[in-house]
């Protein structure tokens, strides 16, 4: 071929790039990754917020490890916080106090670390909700949902282990509750507790063990899963909201280089800025007010950090006195049932994409997202799940709700117990109705246009409001969605109807019995002709 | 050259320094007067043994308390006997506005105080004259405690109801332990002495006077020293922290995401 050799790049940048490329062949990767297209929508940045929070946590956490000592050896505090002077406490607590009061910038870094951790998990939660309600978990992304779910659980574990490290009264009480839950498991509970705490609670091992988990094992696993999660995002390409020109084969948006790299880089600093601003002005986890852990005092208003709240709430909402004595063991149903409830809830969250794929029998790839209203039953299931979680969450704050709204604690607990069962059912019905109504409204707008607010009097004296048809772009957004019909029960090749087929058909009816079909071309044309007469 | 007389003139009573000085003098005198006035009321020494004071107290009692507690404070179906509750009980209940009670409820809430300090003391004197009981702690009972020891004692004896940071907490059936950030030293001490409402009595064998003094010192320290970490969010711990990150933190972040993905015009 007669391609002229490209002249060697002049200038420093060119030379450096050339040097690197000749030794690493990195240009291929840069070209591939730099041309990756990402669509622009605010809700696509929630996962990014989680990622950036994690980076902030890594940075601030590394700083804290330089000064924190994970030891439960006893020491007399001799730092500058007066009301704890001379008080006996563990080295872990004392070194955390030293970080807070006697290390320049220590308190700020501690607060950055903790606030970023809260933001990390809440951003993950919101990101999961976005993925759920838009159906972004459908093929080919089911596995990535699973990876994300594991990250959510790992993040909670990271949070809880970190929360316990200062060995203060509040977190000590939290650990005591965990110990209680473990001991409440029949047969093996006591032994697991002994194994974990190195003997009787609290022992002198747990802080060191949690520290290893918190700064070594869990971060490594989180990092590995984040890498996996992002690799899948690149392999699958990003999803996009429906719109004109957006298909299952393309991605409409901006390339990573230079647009997204700049935007995302800038966004990192914005998130960092928000976290630092919060950390500099708002107290979090004031361990100096809580004092060192001692198994005897338990403070009123003891709560875990928000992400463990749903578990605490499950324990609080469980009716008391449910215990049986079988085979020489006490079976504490008031512990076992909440633990099982939480495990089942998490299992449902994990398994939902696979379940929905089985119900719909949909083997197609989906890169264009659903608008939540166009999948009414899924949206309703999500609303029910959110309500269930929220009630458990509120349960953890039942005493604070009681004091601040001046109601009785029993009233709050009983209301929440009822809400835990009825709330999700109501949420399901309301959300489904709202979705169907919105779909009907969309249909109405497509067929008859939108109201212009212009009232015209006809020669006969009749008043009508002038409706205007949507333009083609807006209309496309309202008509381009999948219409799922319930699956028919059909005999298989051997002429038999299996139980699985029946169950699947029943679920399919549950999902798609009530549905609003998108406006078809014929319908639309007919309606146009009709309105011209 | 021509500026010299000007600078000279500035040294008069019109100079900015003079304004600063005047404002300073004004602030100091008002401040001092106010401080004197407040210390005067705070240390309004009312002789609780004097017959006139007891007499005045009896009149106030008959007019304001006797409906429920009886004409001789002997108690009725609506209120307990006050014979032997001591001056401390009256000073606490009336001095924090809990009494006279506005309506029946699980517990009498603190509300704006209905009487002047002298009147409260007169009522206390009258009730104290009915039978021996705990008296109002003196200034020397309240000052000079060890805050560190007080903190330990507070965590062991008080935190399970009042919360470890003194933010208050819920009890059963609508009862509650109030927050302690606005409780004065003398009222905190009296509460331990008399065990008002749903609170147990911490007698001198349970918590010695010097231990009570330490607890008061700890509470005073918490009041005088705001959190070194910034806003306290009501000292409610993880619940308010969680609400803050979801509403303010994530709210701000979402605002930013909308901003950076907005299409430029």
Query: Cβ A282–B155 below 8 Å, yes or no?
Result: no
* pLDDT computed for residue B42 by the predictor: 47
Q: Is residue B142 part of a domain?
A: yes
How does residue A478 score in pLDDT terms, banded at 50, 70 and 90?
confident
A352 Cβ contact partners less than 8 Å away, ≥ 6 residues apart: A132, A137, A145, A381
Tell me the pLDDT tens digit for each residue of A232-275: 998 998 999 888 888 888 888 888 888 888 888 999 999 999 99
| B144 and B113 in a common domain | no
* pLDDT computed for residue A1 by the predictor: 45
Contacts of B249 in chain A (CB under 8 A): 115, 118-119, 122, 274-275, 278
State mean pLDDT over B187-213: 92
Nearest CA in chain B to A296: B156
Contact, B96 vs B19, CB < 8 A?
Answer: no
Q: Is residue B54 part of a domain?
A: yes
Domain that holds residue B208: 138-228
CA pair distance A531, A446, nearest whole angstrom: 13
Among A83, A298, A403, the residue with its CB nearest the CB of B221 is A83
Query: Cβ B148–A123 below 8 Å, yes or no?
Result: no
Nearest-5° Cα angle at A240, A239 to A243:
155
- The residue whose two tokens read 């759920």 is A132
* pLDDT computed for residue B8 by the predictor: 53
Contact, A138 vs A357, CB < 8 A?
Answer: yes
* pLDDT computed for residue A206 by the predictor: 94
Q: In angstroms, what separates the C-alpha of B42 from chain A's closest C-alpha?
A: 27
Q: Is residue B2 part of a domain?
A: no
Average the pLDDT over each of A44-53, A189-198, A336-345, A496-505 and give the range with the smallest value.
A496-505
Q: Which residue has the higher pLDDT, A130 or A473?
A: A130
Judge whether A278 is closer than 8 Å to chain B, CB to CB.
yes
* pLDDT computed for residue B40 by the predictor: 46
| B172 and B121 in a common domain | no
> And the tokens for B38?
């407040």
Q: In angstroms, what separates the C-alpha of A67 from chain B's closest C-alpha?
A: 19
* pLDDT computed for residue B103 by the predictor: 83
How does residue A187 score in pLDDT terms, banded at 50, 70 and 90?
confident
Q: In angstroms, what separates the C-alpha of B85 from chain A's closest C-alpha?
A: 28
State mean pLDDT over A457-482: 88
Angle, to 10 degrees, between the axis of helix A309-317 and the axis of helix A169-183?
60
CA pair distance B9, A463, nearest whole angstrom: 82
Query: Cβ B164–A291 below 8 Å, yes or no?
Result: yes
| B121 and B171 in a common domain | no
Query: Cβ B147–A82 below 8 Å, yes or no?
Result: yes
* pLDDT computed for residue A533 by the predictor: 53
Judge whether A6 is closer than 8 Å to chain B, CB to CB.
no
Judge whether A118 is closer than 8 Å to chain B, CB to CB.
yes
Residue closest to B119 by CA, chosen among B69, B70, B54: B54
CA pair distance A380, A428, nearest whole angstrom: 4
Domain endpoint, select from B95, B121, B136: B136
Residue B43 scores a pLDDT above 50: no
Residue A5 scores a pLDDT above 60: no
* pLDDT computed for residue A493 by the predictor: 85
Contacts of B111 in chain A (CB under 8 A): none
Residue B2 scores a pLDDT above 70: no
Q: How many CB atoms lie within 10 A of CB A97?
A: 24
Give percent above pLDDT 90 in chain A.
66
Q: Which residue has the higher pLDDT, B104 or A337?
A: A337
Residue A414 scores a pLDDT above 50: yes
Q: Is residue B148 part of a domain?
A: yes
| B143 and B132 in a common domain | no
Judge whether A361 is closer than 8 Å to chain B, CB to CB.
no
- Work out how many domains chain B is built from and give that number: 2
Query: Cβ B250–A126 below 8 Å, yes or no?
Result: yes
* pLDDT computed for residue B1 by the predictor: 43
Give rounded-to-5 percent helix, strand, coil for chain B.
55, 5, 40
Nearest CA in chain A to B256: A270
Helix (H), strand (E) at residue B219: helix B209-224
CA pair distance A484, A514, nearest whole angstrom: 10
Query: Cβ A290–B165 below 8 Å, yes or no?
Result: yes
Residue A381 scores a pLDDT above 70: yes
Domain endpoint, select from B89, B109, B136: B136
Most confident segment among A146-155, A241-250, A298-307, B159-168: A146-155
Give A457's strand partners: A463
Which residues, numbered 417 to 436 in chain A, qualify as contacts with chain B under a Cβ-Cβ cut-off of 8 Å? none
Q: In angstroms, what separates the C-alpha of A90 from chain B's closest C-alpha?
A: 15
Most confident segment among A44-53, B51-60, B72-81: A44-53
Average pLDDT, chain A: 91
What's the CATH code, domain A48-293+308-370?
Answer: 1.20.810.10
Residue A6 scores a pLDDT above 60: no
State mean pLDDT over A395-422: 94
Tell me the pLDDT tens digit for each residue of A201-241: 888 999 999 999 999 999 999 999 999 999 999 899 899 98
CATH of the domain at B57: 1.10.760.10
Residue closest to A315 by CA, chosen among A383, A396, A213: A396
Residue B41 scores a pLDDT above 70: no
Q: A2 by DSSP, 3-state: which?
A: coil
Intervals of CATH 1.20.810.10 along chain A: 48-293+308-370
| B142 and B122 in a common domain | no
Query: Cβ B230–A263 below 8 Å, yes or no?
Result: no
CA pair distance B65, B170, nearest whole angstrom: 29
- The residue whose two tokens read 């939902």 is A352
Q: Is residue B220 part of a domain?
A: yes
CA pair distance A284, B249, nearest whole angstrom: 13
Domain endpoint, select from B136, B171, B187: B136
* pLDDT computed for residue B96 by the predictor: 92
Query: Cβ A300–B161 below 8 Å, yes or no?
Result: yes
Tell me the pLDDT tens digit for each residue of B84-102: 898 999 999 999 999 888 8
ipTM of the complex model: 0.91
Average pLDDT, chain B: 86
Indicate the burial class of B62 (C-beta count within 10 angstroms; 0-12, 13-18, 19 or more). middle
Q: Is residue B28 part of a domain?
A: no
Contacts of B256 in chain A (CB under 8 A): 267, 270-271, 274
Query: Cβ A41–B152 below 8 Å, yes or no?
Result: no
> And the tokens for B128?
């104290």
State mean pLDDT over A455-473: 89
Tell me the pLDDT tens digit for each residue of A99-155: 999 999 999 999 999 999 999 999 999 999 999 999 999 999 999 999 999 999 999
How does residue B23 score in pLDDT terms, banded at 50, 70 and 90?
confident
Judge whether A86 is closer than 8 Å to chain B, CB to CB.
yes
DSSP 8-state assignment for residue B230 = S
**Cα-based distances in Å from A480 to A246, A374, A514:** 10, 10, 19
Angle, to 10 degrees, between the axis of helix A333-360 and the axis of helix A309-317?
120
């Amino acid at each position: 071929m007669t391609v002229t050799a490209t002249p060697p790049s002049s200038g420093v940048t060119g030379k450096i790039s050339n040097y690197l490329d000749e030794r690493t062949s990195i240009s291929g990767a840069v070209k591939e990754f730099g041309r990756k297209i990402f669509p622009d929508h605010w809700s696509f940045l929630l996962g990014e917020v989680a990622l950036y929070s994690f980076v902030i946590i890594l940075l601030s956490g590394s700083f804290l490890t330089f000064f924190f000592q994970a030891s439960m050896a006893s020491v007399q505090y001799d730092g500058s916080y007066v009301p704890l002077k001379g008080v006996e406490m563990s080295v872990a607590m004392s070194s955390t106090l030293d970080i807070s009061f006697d290390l320049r910038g220590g308190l700020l870094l501690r607060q950055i670390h903790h606030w970023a951790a809260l933001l990390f998990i809440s951003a993950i939660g919101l990101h999961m909700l976005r993925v759920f309600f838009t159906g972004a978990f459908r093929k080919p992304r089911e596995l990535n949902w699973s990876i994300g779910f594991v990250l959510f659980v790992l993040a909670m574990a990271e949070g809880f282990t970190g929360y316990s490290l200062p060995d203060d009264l509040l977190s000590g009480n939290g650990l005591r509750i965990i110990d209680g839950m473990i001991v409440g498991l029949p047969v093996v509970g006591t032994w697991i507790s002994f194994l974990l705490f190195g003997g009787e609670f609290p022992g002198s091992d747990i802080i060191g063990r949690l520290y290893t988990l918190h700064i070594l094992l869990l971060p490594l696993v989180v990092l590995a899963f984040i890498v996996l999660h992002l690799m899948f995002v690149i392999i699958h390409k990003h999803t996009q909201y429906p719109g004109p020109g957006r298909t299952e084969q393309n991605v409409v948006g901006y390339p990573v280089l230079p647009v997204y790299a700049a935007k995302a880089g800038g966004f990192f600093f914005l998130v960092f800025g928000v976290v630092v601003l919060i950390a500099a002005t708002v107290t979090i986890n004031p361990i100096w007010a809580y004092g060192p852990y001692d198994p005897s005092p338990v403070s009123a208003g003891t709560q875990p950090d928000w992400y463990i709240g749903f578990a605490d709430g499950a324990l609080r909402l469980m009716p008391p006195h449910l215990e049986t004595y079988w085979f020489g063991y006490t079976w504490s149903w008031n512990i076992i049932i909440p633990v099982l409830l939480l495990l089942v809830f998490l299992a449902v969250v994990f398994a939902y994409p696979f379940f929905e794929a089985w119900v719909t029998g949909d083997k197609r790839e989906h890169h264009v997202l659903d608008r939540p209203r166009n999948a009414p039953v899924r949206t309703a299931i999500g609303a029910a799940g959110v309500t269930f979680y929220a009630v458990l969450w509120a349960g953890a704050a039942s005493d604070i709700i009681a004091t601040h709204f001046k109601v009785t604690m029993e009233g709050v607990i009983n209301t929440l117990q009822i809400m835990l069962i009825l709330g999700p059912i109501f949420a399901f019905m309301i959300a489904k109705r709202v979705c169907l109504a919105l779909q009907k409204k969309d249909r109405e707008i497509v067929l008859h246009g939108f109201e212009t607010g212009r009232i015209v009097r006809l020669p006969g004296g009749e008043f009508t409001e002038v409706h205007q048809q949507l333009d083609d772009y807006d209309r496309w957004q309202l008509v381009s969605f999948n219409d799922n019909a319930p699956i028919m029960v059909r005999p298989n090749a051997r002429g038999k109807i299996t139980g699985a087929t029946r169950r699947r058909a029943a679920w399919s009816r549950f999902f798609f019995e009530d549905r609003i079909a998108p406006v078809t071309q014929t319908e639309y044309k007919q309606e146009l002709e009709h309105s011209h007469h | 050259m021509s500026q010299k007389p000007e600078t000279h003139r500035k040294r008069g009573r019109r100079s900015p320094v003079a304004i600063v000085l005047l404002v300073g003098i004004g602030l100091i005198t008002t401040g001092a007067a106010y401080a004197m006035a407040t210390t005067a009321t705070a240390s309004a020494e009312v002789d609780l043994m004097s017959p006139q004071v007891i007499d005045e107290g009896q009149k106030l009692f008959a007019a304001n308390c006797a409906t429920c507690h009886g004409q001789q404070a002997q108690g009725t179906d609506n209120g307990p006997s006050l014979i032997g509750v001591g001056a401390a009980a009256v000073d606490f209940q009336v001095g924090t506005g809990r009494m006279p009670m506005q309506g029946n409820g699980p517990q009498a809430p603190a509300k704006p105080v209905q009487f002047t300090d002298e009147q409260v003391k007169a009522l206390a004197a009258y009730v104290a004259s009915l039978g021996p009981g705990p008296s109002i702690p003196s200034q020397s009972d309240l000052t000079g405690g060890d805050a560190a020891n007080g903190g330990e004692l507070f965590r062991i004896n008080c935190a399970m109801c009042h919360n470890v940071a003194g933010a208050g907490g819920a009890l059963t059936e609508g009862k509650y332990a109030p927050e302690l950030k606005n409780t004065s030293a003398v009222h905190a001490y009296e509460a331990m002495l008399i065990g008002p409402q749903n609170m147990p009595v911490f007698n001198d064998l349970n918590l010695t006077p010097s231990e009570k003094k330490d607890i008061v010192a700890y509470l005073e320290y918490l009041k005088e020293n705001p959190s070194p970490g910034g806003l306290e969010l009501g000292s409610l711990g993880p619940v308010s922290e969680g609400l803050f990150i979801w509403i303010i933190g994530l709210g701000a972040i979402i605002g930013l995401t909308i901003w950076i993905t907005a299409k430029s015009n």
